[in-house]
Amino acid sequence: MTGLVEIPDAASFVLADARVPACLVDDPPPDAAPDAKGLLRLDIEIADGRIVGLAAHRDDDEAAGRVDLGGGMVWPGLVDLHTHLDKAFTSPRCPNQDGSLEGALSAVAADRPLWTPDDLRARMEFALRCALAHGTVALRTHIDSRPPRHLVSWPVFRELRDEWRGRIALQAVSLVPLEAFADADYATEIADLVRDCGGVLGAVTGVDAGNETVLDRVFGLADERGLDLDFHADETDDPGARSFDRIARAAIAHRFEGRVVVGHCCSLAMRPADEADRALDLAAAAGLHVVSLPMCNLYLQDRRAGRTPRWRGVTLLHEMTARGIPVSLASDNVRDPFHAYGDFDMLEVFAQAVKIAHLDRPVGDWPAAVTRTPAGVMGLADAGRLRVGGPADLVLFRARFWGEMLSRPQHDRIVLRVGRPIDAAPPDYRELDRLFE
């Protein structure tokens, strides 16, 4: 692809000479072997918005309706498993003055009274427009659910979820301190709200995971309602943090059949190796799914005034995958007090994670961490993979190799939804100025 290609205005066409990460292709053609970098060269046939054929690339095929990508990469639509839409883009109004976790908590607390339905809708929809332009097809957001905030934010989310159906599949998770579930009435109320919204029950655990009776209550509420669980855990450099272990033990004790996602898990990297190994073995036995937030954790963790950080804030990703623990990567906070940057671009998340956590040599299956793996956790069978019969929700890049893909932002990508290109220009930040006056 020597320049921007033109997608024909036709019901059917072929994307010829596409390089696709082999880990993202279901049932690849038997004569299409991945190269040394794990990439397949394919011709992708599209008809009526779906993928109807995958074939090994043929240089001599001159059939009509072929779009020559010149070896450019093609990925399925991206999946963002952990975000905070209700906080997004608030940093111009409530900056974190020192960049610390404590500074972020204080800034958000001061800004929260401004989260009216109009303010939430404007920022959340802006975030979704960014994600859509960058190629995201599914997104899970944590929603601040402390009373009475849950009565304001969840209705806005439900409206946006319905309005965005067919563009981005949305899920929401309750975000409250674990201790809030000690109030039995509130615990029942929020669990019922989550169930009625088709959401996921979630909580933020402290360093010691709080009262284990309360953690048991969360598992019980989810089990009774058929809900999945999603926790913030051990977002600290304290090697004494044990929420990760306690969540795994609770999942085993309850024989919990739903999905359990645990986010951050930063302090695992600070624990003695033998302790970390035992915790990871426990997590594998419990069937936990881990989502790492490398950009936000790089920003917050080990930040001390006048001192260079000594570690990167990420959890033990390589050790997890070696045990078969599913791992996803996600945006987390975007332009808010917890992370001042980002744009809901999952390619940026992937590219930064490769460098932060050494997810190369080889890249291997790591592209699945921003596509098919989180899609599976969200229960989305068609998202995050290329397969015959699946939707032609694709992202086309000029980059042909990992060195090209990870060296430039790929702002000229082409985003296809059901086989048609969309406007891939993110919205102008100036649209939000009225919220900050």
* Three-state secondary structure call for residue 274: helix
Q: What angle do CA 207, 212, 217 make, to 5 degrees?
A: 120
One DSSP character per residue, 284-332 reads HHHT-EEEE-HHHHHHHTT-BTTB--SS-----HHHHHHTT--EEE--B
CA distances (Å), 380 to each of 58, 77, 124, 256, 371, in order?
32, 12, 22, 20, 11
* Paired tokens of 55: 């074939």
CA dist., res. 79 & res. 87, Å (int): 19
Q: How many alpha carbons lie under 13 Å from residue 379 in its C-beta half-sphere?
A: 10
Specify whether 125 is catalytic: no
CA dist., res. 383 & res. 379, Å (int): 9
**From 102, 235, 257, 348, active-site residue:** 235
CA dist., res. 180 & res. 302, Å (int): 28
* Three-state secondary structure call for residue 340: coil
CA dist., res. 401 & res. 381, Å (int): 28
Residues ≥6 apart with Cβ < 8 Å to 146: 176, 177, 180
- R_g (Cα) of the chain, nearest Å: 22
* Three-state secondary structure call for residue 35: coil
CA distances (Å), 38 to each of 158, 364, 401, in order?
40, 6, 10
CA distances (Å), 36 to each of 351, 363, 432, in order?
20, 11, 45
Q: Which residues are catalytic?
A: 235
